[in-house]
Amino acid sequence: MSNAAQSSSSSLRTPRSALRAQISRRDILKLSACGAFGASMSRWLPAFANEAIKSPGRKKSVILLWMTGGPPQTDTFDMKPGHENGGQFKPIDSSVPGIQVCEHLPKLAKLMEHCVPIRSMSTKEG
């Protein structure tokens, strides 16, 4: 067999062996389980939606903005104008008296009556 024939046949096997090195059997099982779960949810989601429509009671929900690497609170929800750590942006009034947000969040300022900023949380990070 010539060198050209050997190199072309080995290059045909390279993608398959590279793929095999990237995806293990465990990964295939995980992906299969996720696919099966997703397929089963397609039957459950309409039932959940119908139940939510039937029960008109007040819902309580939370949207947690875990902004790792995002803007600091002094530039978004906890403006401190005139303070050394006050941030570089100006505060604007929101739809709730006494709560101000960053000038770059005017749509959120209009919706603040539906939000609750939690300023008492502290962590040991940073």
Q: What pLDDT was estimated at residue 6?
A: 52
Residue 95 has what pLDDT?
A: 94
What the block records as the tokens of 121 is 């949380």
Digit-coded pLDDT (tens) for 17-75: 555 567 788 888 888 888 887 777 777 777 777 776 776 677 677 777 776 787 888 88
Q: Could you state, in order of their start, the residue ranges of all structural domains in the chain?
A: 3-54, 73-114
Cα separation, 116 vs 119, in Å, equals 9
The Cα–Cα gap between 9 and 6 comes to 5
The Cα–Cα gap between 10 and 4 comes to: 10
Question: How buried is 94 (Cβ within 10 angstroms: 0-12 exposed, 13-18 middle, 19+ buried)?
Answer: buried
Q: What is the pLDDT of residue 49?
A: 74
